[in-house]
Amino acid sequence: MTLFLCRGGVAVELRLYDPSDPGRWLARRELEHPVCGDALAHVYPRAFGAELTLSSGAFRELVYHDVWTYDDLAGAVVGLLLWDVEREPHDPPGPWTRHRPSNRRRPDGDPAHEYVAP
């Protein structure tokens, strides 16, 4: 089952999560990223929280180059829906706690306490 959410012209595709599906994404959004060009953002449920990934290029369905970790699935889906890539191309909104590959951390998702872990 697939569902599309739309907010202010932003369409997000949601689908019923099926652990046996090798893709395993729960939400997906196609976007025109000012740095990457045509890109895909996905939300993947994890055992502890969720990850929002950004991928672009020829293998954008398979390879991602940015990953933000959220403590819960709802935060990641809201971050995907509300992300204004024109204004803030480097980070999605919401209380993400870790960014890879930079290894930036935000305890409790608070940007005021952001640091880079060694």
Q: Could you read off the pLDDT of 27-41 as tens digits, one per residue?
A: 777 777 666 667 788
What is the torsional sign of CA 116, 54, 11, 50? negative
Mean of per-residue pLDDT scores for the chain:
78
At residue 56, the pLDDT reads 75
Q: Domain locations in the chain?
A: 30-116
Q: What is the pTM of this model?
A: 0.78
* In the predicted structure, residue 3 carries a pLDDT above the cut 60: no
Q: Letter for the amino acid at 71?
A: D
CA distance 56 to 40: 6
Q: Could you read off the pLDDT of 88-117 as tens digits, one per residue?
A: 888 888 899 999 889 999 999 999 999 999
At residue 6, the pLDDT reads 47
